[in-house]
Every structure is written in C-alpha cells, then in structure tokens.
Amino acid sequence: MKFFLHLVLLVFFSQSAVFAQSPPDSGNVKSKSIFKITYDVGFSVADSSVLVKIFISNSALIRSLDFNLRDHKLEKIKASGEWVEKDQRLVWTPPETGTAWLKYKIKLVNQRENGAYDAKVGEDWALFRGDDIVPPVKSRFTAGATSKSKIRFNLPKGWHSVNTGWPRLTSEKSKRNAEFKIVKRETRFDRPVGWIIAGDIGTRRELIGDTWVSVSAPVGEDFRRMDMLTLLHFVWPEMQKSFRKLPSKVLLVGAGNPFWRGGLSAPNSLFLHTERPMVSENGTSTLLHEFVHVITGIRGQKSHDWIAEGLAEFYSVELLYRAGGISESRRKRVLAELDEWSENVTRLDVDYSTGPVTAKAALFFFALDDELKSVSGGKMNIDDLTRQLRNQDKVSAEDIRKTFVLLTGKKSAVYRKWRKWFAGASSSKE
C-alpha cells in the first residue's frame, strides 16, 4: 500500500513539473510584433503651418514607408534612418533599432476650386482634417506586424482646447496637451484621418444612445450647438433602428465664411457651415445627410458616387419622417420637389454626384424601399439592404442588384427600370 502511495505521488509531482514548464509567454511574443505610432502635432500661427513629428517604436518591424506627396507639400523634412524625396513621393526607411522619427512642416490653407476653404490655421483657431497633415502612405512590414496609434497636440499660447473624433486618452483638464487614440483599423499603419478643431473653441457634448456626440466651433461663430444636439436626440432612435451599429464617438465641427458653404463628412466626424439650416425648406437635412455618411461609411466605386450620396439624401428625409418630424403629405411634397429638381438628369454614373444627380439617386432608393416592403410583405425595407452594403469596401449598382436578390430571392423590377440611368457603370444586364 505504501509503495502504491509513493508511486502515485511520484507520478503527480512529475506531471506537475511537466506542466510547470510552460511555453514562452504568448503575450510577449505578441508585443514584439506591435509597433507604436505617435503623431505629435504643433502649430505655427505666423505662417499658417502645422508641425508634424511621427515617432515609431519597435521600428525594426517596418521595412519602408512610401508617402504620396501629390496633394501635400512638405517642408523642412528630417528623419532618422534613410529617406528620399523624388517624383512627388517620400520614401522613408526607418532605422532597425531604437525609436524612429520623421518630422516636417506643412502649410495648411486649403482652398477649393470655388475659393472656399476646407482647412485653415488662423490666429485663434485651426480647423482641418488629419489627412491634410499626414499624406497617404504605402507601407511594408515584417510578417504579422501590427500597430497601435495615438495623436497628441501642443497648442500655442492662448489656444485653450482641441477636439477630434477619436477617444480621448488624457483627461478633459489636459486641454492644451491632449492625446487621442486612433482607432481606424483599415490599414496596419493608421493615419489620423478625420476632422480636427483646435484653439479658442466652444464645445457641447452629449451621450446620445451609446454614442458621445461633440459639437465644436470657434468661439464667436453662430453655430447652433444645442439645436443640433436636440435634433440628433430626436432622430437617434430611428438611426439605431436603421443602422444598428453606431460609432462610439462623433465630432461635429462648424465654421462660417470663408469655409466651404456645405457639409463634408470624414471618419467619425463631419463639418457643417454655420449658415446651413439643419432642415432645408425642401425638407432635406444636410446635418442628417452627412451623419449618414459617417455612420454607414458606404462609398461608391468609380462612377458610383451616386449610391453613397443618394442613400444619404434618402435617409436625410426618411429619418425625419420616421421620427415624426415631417408628415406623410410633406414627405410626398419633398419627393415631388426632388423629382422636379432632377428632371433634366440623364445619367447617374458620373464621377461626382451633385445636387440634381443626388436628388435623382434618392428617388431611386425611395422606389427600391417601396419594392422591398412590397415583396417582403412589410418584413424588410431599405435598411436591410443598407446594412448589407456597409460590409463592403466600395459598392456598385451590381452590388445593389445582388443584395436585393440575396434578401428577397427575387429580381428587382425597380432596378431593371432604372438601369438606363446607370447603364454606363458596371451593372448587370438583366
């Protein structure tokens, strides 16, 4: 009996020793494949420029970064490792050890063709998109490498605050040296895309559903922050029903002349000119239109810009209607005005969807919404199709056709009727 007991104890401790010899810490292995990117942003008010420093830890994981400078003029470039600027490109090969760094200066006064601005650094504040200060980049990494990214700001004296569409890492009290976590994960090298506002600004912030919505504009601008938050509170339940998955934070920024007199969306953020009404006299809403772009992220393939714009215009009316903001008779008048506005449109498949083309595209989605309700006995509508399109990178008319068949098991009569407006783009010849 004693011999048997000794034998059992010997086996137990032997097995314990085996299990104690655990494999290397998988967490450490994982951490070795992560490089951290820090964007350090400062401002030179005297010449309307932004000073950018990019720091990269564990830079041995990066083989090279190839920046496209076609729309970005960088000045005073310096970097660790090796770099070459040629043919509107900057190719940077970081050093294999230590923390790599690249710094440059970029003038930030962007004027559109009509003379209006969509980026500007002024004496008291700055308003721009992160993609204005960090060029598009092609990156080469070692296998399995991933990144964690953040952006931090160093504000000039007299500038009190900064706001972005990303989660804040520092407390609200650290206004002049704020840090934000960049959570856009489309590529392994995360650029700080989206709207940024800094300086002497005023902000109103509300938790609407599960989304923090911040409305920021320069102090003194007639930007109706509380009106906008109130409208969003009113419509938000319908947004949740329609799209289900909503971002955790959205930044809404605004400014008056000489900025672009319209709306411009970006990831987790949007711009609205101070003179744009929240709901226009024709019953559409630029505010809701741009919010739909932010939430869905739907983009059209070449010559399919009408899909994203038409859907956004459709929802700018439909969400108001579903929330009880406009009546059935008003909705019919809105559709009639869209039809009148777009009566001279002969093609949807243009490079950029403008007012009348967008109006015509919106009517297509109103018709498709009615058809989905009809063939499904009221069990489906355009929301089901939109949620499917959100899962794709860039969409086409063919994707709409296929998604309709996937949802209903039938071909769309509306699609067949409307094909003549977008037959030049890639679409099925049903």
Task: Read off the pLDDT of residues 294-336 as tens digits, 9 standing for 90 and up.
Answer: 999 999 999 999 999 999 999 999 999 999 999 999 999 999 9
Distance CA 412, CA 253 (A): 40
333-383 residue pLDDT tens: 999 999 999 999 999 999 999 899 999 999 999 999 999 999 999 999 999
| Residues 335, 186 share a domain | no
Distance CA 114, CA 111 (A): 8
| Residues 227, 126 share a domain | yes
Last residue of a domain, one of 273, 306, 336: 273
DSSP annotation of 259:
B
Enclosing domain of residue 394 = 286-422
70-115 residue pLDDT tens: 999 999 999 999 999 999 999 999 998 889 999 999 998 776 766 6
The pTM assigned to this predicted structure is: 0.88
**Of 22-31, 231-240, 408-417, minimum mean pLDDT range:** 22-31
Q: What is the pLDDT of residue 26?
A: 40
| Residues 203, 57 share a domain | yes
| Residues 372, 340 share a domain | yes
Instruction: Provide the pLDDT confidence category of residue 428 given band limits of 50, 70 and 90.
Output: low
Q: Looking at the domain assignment, is residue 278 inside a domain?
A: no
Q: Looking at the domain assignment, is residue 2 inside a domain?
A: no
Quick one: CA dihedral 380, 381, 386, 392, positive or negative? positive
Q: Average pLDDT in the 276-291 region?
A: 95
Q: What is the pLDDT of residue 5?
A: 43
| Separation in Å, CA 289 to CA 46, 87, 398 | 36, 38, 23
pLDDT above 90 (res 20): no
Domain count, the chain: 2
Q: What is the pLDDT of residue 23?
A: 38
| Residues 268, 292 share a domain | no
The tokens for 341 are: 């506005």
- The string over 187-226, giving b where at least 16 C-beta atoms fall within 10 Å of a residue's C-beta and e elsewhere, is eebbbbbbbbbbbebebbebebeebbbbbbbbeeeebbbe
| Mean confidence (pLDDT) of the chain | 89
| Residues 46, 124 share a domain | yes
| Residues 138, 223 share a domain | yes
Q: Average pLDDT in the 385-389 region?
A: 97
The more confident residue out of 260 and 115 is 260
- The string over 319-358, giving b where at least 16 C-beta atoms fall within 10 Å of a residue's C-beta and e elsewhere, is bbbbbebbeeeebeebbeebeebbeebeebbbeebeeebb
- The string over 14-37, giving b where at least 16 C-beta atoms fall within 10 Å of a residue's C-beta and e elsewhere, is eeeeeeeeeeeeeeeeeeeeebeb
Q: Average pLDDT in the 162-176 region?
A: 84
The more confident residue out of 197 and 142 is 197
Last residue of a domain, one of 221, 244, 273: 273
Q: Looking at the domain assignment, is residue 19 inside a domain?
A: no
| Residues 341, 223 share a domain | no
Q: What is the pLDDT of residue 188?
A: 73
The more confident residue out of 211 and 147 is 211
Q: Looking at the domain assignment, is residue 23 inside a domain?
A: no
123-157 residue pLDDT tens: 999 999 999 999 999 999 888 888 899 999 999 99
Q: Looking at the domain assignment, is residue 279 inside a domain?
A: no
| Residues 225, 368 share a domain | no
Share of the chain above pLDDT 70, in %: 88
- Terminal Cα-to-Cα distance of the chain (whole angstroms): 84
Q: What is the pLDDT of residue 25?
A: 39
pLDDT above 90 (res 4): no
| Residues 143, 92 share a domain | yes
Last residue of a domain, one of 230, 252, 273: 273
Domain with residue 261: its CATH number is 2.60.40.3650
Q: What is the pLDDT of residue 185?
A: 58
Q: What is the pLDDT of residue 31?
A: 59
Q: Looking at the domain assignment, is residue 318 inside a domain?
A: yes
Q: Looking at the domain assignment, is residue 10 inside a domain?
A: no
Q: Looking at the domain assignment, is residue 281 inside a domain?
A: no
| Residues 290, 266 share a domain | no
| Residues 355, 242 share a domain | no
